[in-house]
Structure 1
Amino acid sequence: MNTIYKKFVSWCNRSLFDSGEVLPPRLSSKIIAVVCLVNLLLIGSDIYELYGAHGLVGAKMPDPLVRRYVPSFSLLGRFFDLLHVNEGIGFYIIIGVYVTALIFVLLDYKRLVFAFVAFSLQLMTVTSSFLFSHGGDSVTTFLLFINILICLDEVIKRELLYRTIYSFAIRLLQVQLCIIYFFFRLW
């Protein structure tokens, strides 16, 4: 009985947590950054018309729905008002920081720091649109969260621990895609 248990645990570890590294982690991180850049560039020309003060979603619309401690574009709009910076320029400064963070992830420069910056700004985009966001926002946010897990190789020097985290991140991504495919098929 003990042998069967050991074989089962060994099989679970191999099949669930063995990375098998189809893609190297740095390449995975770059692919995620490219996908997020393409997503941002596709809506880039209309982003101010969506999230600006007088946009479709607008700064004031989701305010009652979002808690005060959650960063949103309306909170940053008030910050730029204090600095006497035009709201549109401040908005594009934020988007520029977002694009710069993704480019730095692509260039392998302090990937973990800039992956976290990109994730935070994407999360701010989702909280600013709250119930008005489409599924692409959620997928992009999830991809950037996975990117943070993938970029942990800069801080974790133990190979086995990092491989386990990388494998967990890939499996989490697979589960997310399965859920998306399942509900897309129901729709």
Structure 2
Amino acid sequence: MRKIVATFFAAFSLAFLASLPALAQNTQAAPARQAAPSPAMKVAVRRMLEAMQFPALTRQIFDQMLQSVPAMMRQAALQNITGNAELTEERKARALANAEEEIPLAVSTLTQVLADQSLIDELSAEMVPLYARYYTVQEIEQLTAFYQTPLGRKMLATMPQLSAESMAISQRVLIPRVNAVLEQVLRAATQPPQ
């Protein structure tokens, strides 16, 4: 089950990061800057996050993602368990039943983690140095202006749905590849030394 949850969290993280709209705005981002964000940058990013309604947007993204969590976990469990050649059919059936029992607990735990307001606060704080590495204060101000336009507001309004759909895409595309790599590693790890 730990492998299932780890696979899920990898996909979850990728989908969440892919859903943050401003990160994808500038594909020719400046080289990463290492200095601490200036006071002007801190103010600019905080204003941009306010324009984005970052806490509400993040909550909506979390809620959308949580809707697909049980199916993702089931798929990961099914692939991991049925793909394990070392398990008998009886053990596979028991493992799948155990996974079914564990999924509601995992979803409940994840829901509690994502409901913690300090998580949103911490994510917001982490956005300041992240954006500072790739954008200038002027660019952040331009992004803020964009998010205040009708198109910017539309983009933000559709972001939770885009996030949910990107999560489904991640599940469909990423998890089988990750599971294949995990199976390869497990096979290599269980092979007797030569």
Task: Give the structure-1-normalised TM-score.
Answer: 0.31
Which of 1 and 2 has higher RCO (CA within 8 Å, sep 6+)?
2
Structure with more helix by fraction: 2
